Amino acid sequence: MFDLDALLVLIPLAPFMLGGLAIWTKHQRKTLELQIELAKAQAAVRPAVDDRTEQRLRTLERIITDGRGRDDLAQQIENLRAKQLS
């Protein structure tokens, strides 16, 4: 399978290859931990956006189901836009 010359080269290099593998494995683990932390942080931010969207949707539903005139509807939509910008 391996000749003696190949073994004489590979045996002294084995500790360096294992050390490199250990460093690479540690780096990969740290990278995955950071990705998990980033995902947790992004998940924590999302509910605020979802709550805002849900509140806006409920307001729009109320405007649509309300039986008021078109002028009042336009004013309510403009009020929503002003709220969003502030």
Query: Where does residue 59 rank: exposed (0-12), middle (13-18), buried (19+ CB within 10 A)?
Result: middle
pLDDT of residue 64: 77
pLDDT of residue 54: 83
> Cα–Cα distance between 46 and 79 in angstroms, integer?
25
Q: Helix (H, G, I), strand (E, B), or coil: what is residue 17?
A: helix
Task: State the pTM of this model.
Answer: 0.47
pLDDT of residue 86: 66
From first to last of its 86 residues, the chain has per-residue pLDDT tens of 668 888 888 899 999 999 999 999 999 999 999 999 999 998 887 776 677 788 888 888 887 777 665 667 777 778 877 877 76
Tell me the residue length of the chain. Answer: 86
Domain boundaries, the chain: 4-85
